[in-house]
Structure 1
Amino acid sequence: MSDVTRPGFWRLAQAHPGRLACVDPDGTEHRAGDLLGRANRLVHALRDMGLRTGDVVCGLTPNGADGLTLYLAAAQAGLYYTPINWHFTAPEIAHILADSEAKAFVVHERYAEEGIRGAEAAGLPTAARISVGGVPGCVGLDDLVGRYPDATPENRTAGLAMHYTSGTSGRPKGVRRPLSGLDPDDAAELLTFLFHVFGIEPGPDHTHLVTSPTYHTAVTQFSTIALHMGHTVVYMDRWEAEEALRLIETYRVTSTHMVPTHFKRWLYLPEEVRGRYDVSSMRWLIHGAAPCPRAVKEAMLEWWGDCVYEYYAATEGGGTISTPDDWRAHPGSVGRPWPITDLMIVDDDGNEVPTGQVGTVYMKMTGSDFEYKGDREKTAAGRLRGYFTMGDLGHVDADGYLYLSDRRSDLIISGGVNIYPAEIENELLSHPDVMDVAVFGVPDAEWGQQIKAVVEPADSVEPGPQLADRLLRSLDGRLARMKWPKSIDFIDEMPREPNGKLIKRKLRDPYWQDNGATSEQR
């Protein structure tokens, strides 16, 4: 195979500069050559700002070519690229900017208020702030790149995305992998293994639809791998069920990445709306990030046919895949390990359990190592004999298919988004009217789970709706609204063991039992 036909955006863009590379949510089209030139200019600019191999550049940008340009610049300049959740408040943004030791920060004017407040709190110099659009105190991205040539940068070396994730221990941590030192195109070609697992083909005849925010790990991976495979990437600004169908028809979309909440919204559409669009181009409708109810999966397979694939994976690396045939033969399973992933199911003592027995799920991906930036203790805590765990419980059947019993005891997954109770608990505990608090997920027909808080009021504080309202209002500007509890209940005394450990299941299980299951069965 010749170099020009091998995957890798930069070599493909040089060979076919007129190819349609991506489409912004407003319909603006970007050709590969233009995207390449802009990314090259940005590399020159970042290096002139003092960034060197191994440094971090953060981006607070919406879905579209601006964020993609930033990724492509970092990925050929040996930089770590960290996208920031645009729902975050200034303190949350500040944490990531400071913890990542960002040397540059690109903020879109849409998110300027919280973004600049976060930059100020993190102590990021004004010279390191770049804006998309007009943001006071920042150099404009257009002005900045306009000062530099679009020539291929010297000393190109592969960079990486460093996404932030967290367990129930509180603040997010960056999942950092060592840089490979490879040529960026060669590194990109290695990344395309994930698409090969699903059988996705390279070539300009394919289009990938981005339906979720690109600050999510999987969304970044799927969209950029599609670009490296020579596909056109079409971005949505936000999820709209009928608009997604229209885009699939308009751009003859062949692949997309979704969460079960998207499926539910599609299935809620009237039959005449669903039948209005030709979606026959779709070949790989891939979903993950949250459990998919069996009835929803069956309805999607009936509607879309044999293009609905499922996976289970982690930012830390590794995963499983379930093809349509796999799921029909093993309903409820999240599939078998990728060819480069090994699974291990262990008991509480770290011993492997027999087939069919539930235990903690550990994974290992060939050629992939990581650390939680600045947290050796957390990195070591999740490791066992070269494997790592997210704390999920599950079992493997005799055919090697993985079934998850619990998506972590405390983790809340609402609409495909991971929400971490400890962070919310810490904020509520800072309120003077709160003596103790527990946050967990309860059933929600549309979102999978919603956030519930149970509060033990401080002495002489009257529980009730007025207290609940005060507590919620206290989160304004401190936590993204997607993390706010949907409801708050009150309790006289929190169930804690003598050592102080909260027995959260005593609080959580009644809500799941009312739904016909315990939290262990969900």
Structure 2
Amino acid sequence: MSRGTGGHLVGDVGYKLKILRQIGLLKVQPPHRLLKAGVKLATWGPGFPSAAGAAAARFPNQLAIIDDAGEITWQELYDEVNRATAALATKGIGAGDSVALLCRNHRHMVVAMIALMQRGAKVLLLNTMASANQLGELTRREGAGLAIVDQEFLTVASELDRDQILLAWEEDDTHGLPTLRELAAAESAKPHKKPERPGGIVIFTSGTTGLPKGANRKEPENLDPLMTFFGAIPYTGNSTVVLAAPLFHSWGLLNFGFGLSTVPTYVLRRKFKPEQVLADIDQYKADVLVVVPLMMQRLVDASSTAVEKSDVSSLKITASSGSALAGDLANHFMDLFTDSVYNFYGATETGWVSIASPEDLRAAPGTAGRVPWRTIVKILDTDGKEVPQGETGVIYVGNEMQFGGYTDGNSKSFADGLM
């Protein structure tokens, strides 16, 4: 059996205090701001709505998002979320309703996602590679009465009635549809009460056949999952995060959601371009880059001119997951840029299994890394018994961020209390 050992080295209390200091939650701030943030967290509990509200309370004038539309502060973003929440209420969206979201990375996706959760709705995060048939079938299967989409995906939404569609990102005014931003403009930015039922997020896992399965994302019950994540991937408070991985993907969403507690500035781009990523790291002195391995490969293969003219020395964390990371790619990336690669091994359903640091990847290229704090991993045989070291078996894991089951009522198999 393998357990995360970080907490055992210094004791749980010492470990937690160390991480809280690291991510800025113990930073000295004006009492009225801390009070507002504390009330939001106490009222709503852990989750996107409380984290966004707390960020706006603690650092209202700090940039929250830099994207293709420009810059927006935390207070401005939170005001937009509250106006959008009111607009969704006028559209009849309430607790328990399902709403499909088909968007690239930008502020309007973030606003829509948090506003829907403030209404107690279930957010269906659809892959931007979805076909018209998939979108139609998934919205029917999941009972979605509304879809919020970027203008470029209107052809994908062709099977939906036009009165079921709201636009998120618009490229021009030829679409003839309402946008969430337009509907929200006339509404109040007054904060909202917690809904009778909490909102949620469904991530669709790609399958080899048929429609993707809908996996219910489970919100943390306390701060312990954040302690585990940030103990292994050392985010710091108020850092700049270039979030290149798509938000509809569990890896991009995890970094966005957990990152909220650190009150970062997110750099979001609608489309991944290696030269743009390097330029963003240079211009904004980014501390963190969130990618999938294919993006790392494209960065390594970027033109020598783009690499040479971009100063990426600020980059302390390159967080990678989503598919297998070849050891030679990790080291090639670190040779070319900075020793910053952290590889997350896990799945949408299981959460994390292990995380490799730059030192781990240098010492053993291709390693899956170490089991983090408050995580249990066992290798079991077909009878559910633990196999001796060196023998092959099935990986089972226990942690505090496993999913809440599939939307069809099924789940993964368990053995010895582990998934």
Alignment TM-score, normalising by the size of structure 1 = 0.65
Partner of 1:21: 64
List alignment gaps of at least 5 residues for structure 2: 1-25, 27-33, 39-49
Partner of 1:396: none
Aligned equivalent of 1:118, options 138, 150, 159: 159
> Does residue 1:361 correspond to 2:381, yes or no?
no
Q: 1:195 to 1:208 in 2, by over 3 A?
A: farther
**Distance in structure 2 (CA, Å) of the matches to 1:317 and 1:250:** 36
> Does residue 1:8 correspond to 2:12, yes or no?
no
Indicate if the aligned counterparts of 2:104 and 2:271 stay in contact, CA closer than 8 A: no
What is the aligned length?
371
Q: Whose Rg is larger? A: 1
Listed one character per residue, the Cα deviations across residues 206-252 of structure 1 (whole Å, up to 9, x for unaligned) are: 11102232221111221233234210000122222222111100011
**Distance in structure 2 (CA, Å) of the matches to 1:223 and 1:144:** 26
Partner of 2:194: 155
- 1:4-403 correspondence to structure 2 within 5 Å: 8-26=51-69, 28-115=70-157, 117-120=158-161, 126-132=162-168, 133=170, 134=173, 138-155=177-194, 158-177=198-217, 192-193=226-227, 195-204=229-238, 206-319=239-352, 320-366=354-400, 368-376=402-410, 379=411, 382-388=413-419
Question: Alignment partner of 1:282: what SS?
Answer: coil
Indicate if the aligned counterparts of 1:60 and 1:86 stay in contact, CA closer than 8 A: yes
Indicate if the aligned counterparts of 1:130 and 1:138 stay in contact, CA closer than 8 A: yes
Aligned-pair Cα RMSD in Å: 2.7
Query: Quick one: which amino acid aligns to residue 153 of structure 1?
Result: H
Query: Quick one: which amino acid aligns to residue 389 of structure 2?
Result: T
**Distance in structure 1 (CA, Å) of the matches to 2:323 and 2:348:** 14
Question: Alignment partner of 2:110: what SS?
Answer: helix
Indicate if the aligned counterparts of 1:4 and 1:12 stay in contact, CA closer than 8 A: no
Query: Quick one: which amino acid aligns to residue 108 of structure 2?
Result: D
Query: Quick one: which amino acid aligns to residue 47 of structure 1?
Result: A
Per the TM alignment, residue 368 of structure 1 is displaced from its structure 2 partner at its CA by 4.0
Per the TM alignment, residue 127 of structure 1 is displaced from its structure 2 partner at its CA by 4.4
Q: 1:340 to 1:8 in 2, by over 3 A?
A: same
**Distance in structure 2 (CA, Å) of the matches to 1:194 and 1:234:** 24
Structure with the bigger percentage of strand = 1
**Distance in structure 2 (CA, Å) of the matches to 1:67 and 1:259:** 20
Indicate if the aligned counterparts of 1:207 and 1:232 stay in contact, CA closer than 8 A: yes
Question: Alignment partner of 1:149: what SS?
Answer: coil
Per the TM alignment, residue 141 of structure 1 is displaced from its structure 2 partner at its CA by 1.4
**Distance in structure 1 (CA, Å) of the matches to 2:382 and 2:207:** 18
| Paired-residue identity, % | 23
Indicate if the aligned counterparts of 2:330 and 2:365 stay in contact, CA closer than 8 A: no
Q: Which moved more, 1:3-12 or 1:51-60?
A: 3-12
Alignment TM-score, normalising by the size of structure 2 = 0.80
List alignment gaps of at least 5 residues for structure 1: 121-125, 389-522
**Distance in structure 1 (CA, Å) of the matches to 2:207 and 2:380:** 19
Q: 1:190 to 1:78 in 2, by over 3 A?
A: farther
